[in-house]
Amino acid sequence: MHKLKLLSFISVMILFLIVENISAQEPDTNLDIFYKMIDSSVTDLISKIPKSRESIKLDLNLGENYTVFNNRIIAGIFSSGKKILDEENKELLNINYVLEKANVNYGEIFRDGFWGDYYLPRNLSLKGSYAIRDSNTLFQNFDYNCSDTIRYSSIKDVEDESFPFTKGKVPSEPFFSNLFEPIVAIGTAALVVILFFTIRSK
């Protein structure tokens, strides 16, 4: 009876770990987080535009690395009800939007308990500025940061090979974890099999 309880306990624990891994919520990708930061900068920009100004002239300076944000910025401005005109007109409100840097940094790996998965801190930052030129010029810097913790195994899912700025320097996984975990998994499976046949033979 004691062995049967032990077998049941081990089976429940294995099932729990499998379900936990399946049900774990996937983190936002690095690109998605940068999109949210861009949205925040556009919202702040729009709040500085006088309501009487329905049309603007927009100059985007995103460099070669961040052109993926071009349509996102334009869509954000259009959704506010503003019109973007591509013409030289002294009556238009001129806006110059500059994106300077988008970075991803990972912290040191740590383990969530003895049997837990490996995690690491993730920090994303976005820096830039915009200038609104009318009879007066308003200049505004923006600097957004987002920090959270993700599974080490999720790094390949949150980064995008097409956009290098979504990738950061990843610390190496501890060496002994690569040997210890398979040994524990094999040992646990062997124990379940042994107990199963031992109980059946009695």
pLDDT, average across residues 28-53: 96
Number of domains in the chain: 1
Closest CA to 124 of 142, 106, 110, 99: 106
Looking up tokens 């774990």 gives: 24
The number of helices, as runs of H, and strands, as runs of E, in the chain is 5, 6
The residue-averaged pLDDT of 115-120 equals 88
- pLDDT of 181 over the 60 cut: no
Q: How far is CA 5 from the centre of its chain?
A: 43
DSSP three-state, residue 168: coil
| Whole-structure pTM value | 0.75
Distance CA(7)–CA(4), nearest Å, equals 5
Q: In this predicted structure, what is the pLDDT of residue 160?
A: 97
Helix or strand or coil: residue 102? strand
Q: How confident is the model at residue 96 (pLDDT cuts 50, 70, 90)?
A: very high
Query: What token pair was written down for 152?
Result: 């080490």
Neighbour tally for 42: CB within 10 Å: 22
Range of the structural domain that residue 106 is part of: 2-200
